[in-house]
Structure 1
Amino acid sequence: MQPTIGRIVHYTLTTFDAEAVNRRRKDFADQSTPGNTGFVGHVGNRVEAGDTYPAMVVRVFGADAANLQVFLDGNDTYWATSRPEGEAGEQGRWIWPPRA
């Protein structure tokens, strides 16, 4: 099935993805300058490569590649660009949610 804008898929994080999310969250936690403005507080549970999260398709490229906004377990999201469809648990790829 071809992805379309606004659909929800499941995305599995890569090592690079997890490091980027955790770095943003650590940078916010470590910032020690009181009164800073313009910071967005990236707060949430630590993520690991192989973790799977829901994501919204925001742009489609061809039959199976898409840009995704990944909904993390926290107050932030992760921008996963040009990611192909894959198999369940395959890092850096998305799947259609299984039916319950």
Structure 2
Amino acid sequence: MRPAIGRTVHYALTRDDVDLIKRRRDTHPDRAVGNPVTEGDTYPAVIVRVWDDNSVNLRVWLDGTDDLWAPSRHHGTTDEPGTWAWPARV
């Protein structure tokens, strides 16, 4: 499969993602609240920009009122923080 704008993928959070999310939630609790996040947690994300067959920009849907912009992320597996993967077929 090839990435395309609007496709839903799975994204594994990095330590930097987690720090950013926690900092934002601590700074703006009235606008950004949600369940705790840890490195490696996997969330659905929508592709918002395609750079090539491997690299995309993502909008990650967190379990809360906020989301995360994840630019220039590479295809991998959900076992690799900072990478995106196609959802398993069910």
Report the TM-score, using the length of structure 2 for normalisation.
0.95
Please name the residue that 1:2 is paired with.
2
Q: Provide the secondary structure at the position in 2 that maps to 1:45.
A: coil
Aligned to 2:25, the other structure's residue is in SS state: helix
User: Is 1:97 matched with 2:87?
Assistant: yes
Q: What is the SS of the residue equivalent to 1:24?
A: helix
| C-alpha deviation, 1:88, in angstroms | 2.8
Over residues 7-51 of structure 1, what are the superposed CA-to-partner deviations in whole Å (9 max), with x where a residue is unaligned?
00000000000110011001123xxxxxxxxxx611111111100
Structure 2 matches for 1:1-40, cutoff 5 A?
Answer: 1-29=1-29
The answer to which structure has the higher strand fraction is 2
Identity %, equivalent residues: 50
Query: CA-to-partner distance for each residue in 1:48-67, whole Å, 9 max, x for gaps?
Result: 11000000000000111000
Corresponding residue SS for 2:65: coil
> How far apart are the structure 2 equivalents of 1:4 and 1:60?
6
The runs of 4+ residues in structure 1 deviating greater than 6 Å are none
Aligned residue type for 1:98: A
Amino acid of the residue matched to residue 49 of structure 1? Answer: E
Aligned residue pair count: 90
| Pair 1:80-2:80 in alignment | no
SS in 2 for 1:47: coil
Q: Return 5+ residue gaps in structure 2 as ranges.
A: none
User: 1:7, 1:59 → 2: CA distance?
Assistant: 10
Q: Which runs of 5+ in 1 are unaligned?
A: 30-39
Partner of 1:43, secondary structure, is coil
Q: Which residue of 2 aligns with 1:52?
A: 42
Specify the structure having the higher radius of gyration (Cα). Answer: 1
| One-letter amino acid of the counterpart of residue 16, structure 1 | D
